[in-house]
């Protein structure tokens, strides 16, 4: 057991399996009290069960950690409010929110249904916004009452959100939205003593094992680069008091690799000083593109 997060109260959504479970266990091993949130649904978001979250709580308690389960649907307004209330009622405070919950309904865009689009956007994008909104309201209340806040939000984006993924238009759009939401939240929450960062992890989970079965197979020996536990140390550090100067950042993380993603920023530019004519722009655009870096290829293209 370590003490990097001793005394801190942490919510982890989607914490019963994969990355969320690894995060919850890692925080508990560093002294945090953990709210293990999971609705207990299957990979496509159907069904619900309290069993998986309760199992993680029992595992944390088995090594002397402190945890409670919360089975709320974080993509519902009431469920997100209940999530924050659970932390405050169980442990008296909230210091860290790790937004991780999600599921997949993969399909090529030409075959993607409205329900499949709505469901994935809801669980990933609204499932990040709603907990952040209720957590931020709690932290704002603490500051207004004269208290001191040193809080963290860690969101979960994806390489699919940063560069796209064939067959995952709904997921890619939601994860790109999370990247943008992270920037806005970092700017808005700073006044309350809250930092907001995001990760784009790569690991072997229920959501990735089908798409990357060959590359993500566990090695017979040596370092398992795709183990979910490889991602959690960065998440735990971002949740600690040590990270208070870091906000509005996106980290790609997998295996032993940590990368700060630069994101969108202005590149080559031409300014005529007056309105362009459409016919003029062909050579201008070609010249600008010749100076710009090639875009990262879309996954699966």
| Catalytic sites, residue numbers | 158, 171, 175
User: Rounded to whole angstroms, what are the CA distances from 163 to 29, 53, 177?
Assistant: 34, 32, 12
User: Rounded to whole angstroms, what are the CA distances from 30 to 3, 6, 24, 240?
Assistant: 5, 6, 10, 10
Q: Give the chain's radius of gyration (CA, Å).
A: 20
Between CA 216 and CA 211 the distance in angstroms is 9
Q: Over the range 234-246, which residues count as b (16 or more CB within 10 Å of their CB) and which as e?
A: bbbbbbbeebeeb
**DSSP 8-state assignment for residue 275:** P
Residue 12, SS3 per DSSP: strand
């Amino acid at each position: 057991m370590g003490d990097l997060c001793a005394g801190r109260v942490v919510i982890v959504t989607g914490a019963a399996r994969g990355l969320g479970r690894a995060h919850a266990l890692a925080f508990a091993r560093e002294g945090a009290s953990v709210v293990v949130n999971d609705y207990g649904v299957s990979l496509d978001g159907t069904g619900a069960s309290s069993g998986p979250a309760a199992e993680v709580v029992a595992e944390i308690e088995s090594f002397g950690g402190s945890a409670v389960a919360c089975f709320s649907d974080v993509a519902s307004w009431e469920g997100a409010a209940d999530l924050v209330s659970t932390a405050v009622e169980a442990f008296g405070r909230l210091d860290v929110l790790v937004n991780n919950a999600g599921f997949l309904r993969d399909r090529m865009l030409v075959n993607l249904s409205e329900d499949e689009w709505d469901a994935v956007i809801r669980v990933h994008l609204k499932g990040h916004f709603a907990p952040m909104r209720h957590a931020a309201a709690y932290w704002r209340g603490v500051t207004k009452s004269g208290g001191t806040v040193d809080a963290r939000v860690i969101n979960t984006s994806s390489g699919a959100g940063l560069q796209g993924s064939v067959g995952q238009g709904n997921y890619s759009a939601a994860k790109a939205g999370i990247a943008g939401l992270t920037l806005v939240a970092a700017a808005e929450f700073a006044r309350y003593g809250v930092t907001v960062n995001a990760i784009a992890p790569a690991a072997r989970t229920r959501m990735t094992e089908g798409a990357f079965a060959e590359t993500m197979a566990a090695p017979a020996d040596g370092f398992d680069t795709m183990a979910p536990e490889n991602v959690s140390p960065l998440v735990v550090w971002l949740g600690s008091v040590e990270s208070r100067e870091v906000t509005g950042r996106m980290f790609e993380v997998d295996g032993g690799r940590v990368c700060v993603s630069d994101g969108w920023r202005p590149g080559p530019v031409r300014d005529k000083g007056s309105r362009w004519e459409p016919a003029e722009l062909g050579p201008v655009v070609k010249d600008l593109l010749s100076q710009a870096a090639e875009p990262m290829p879309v996954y699966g293209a």
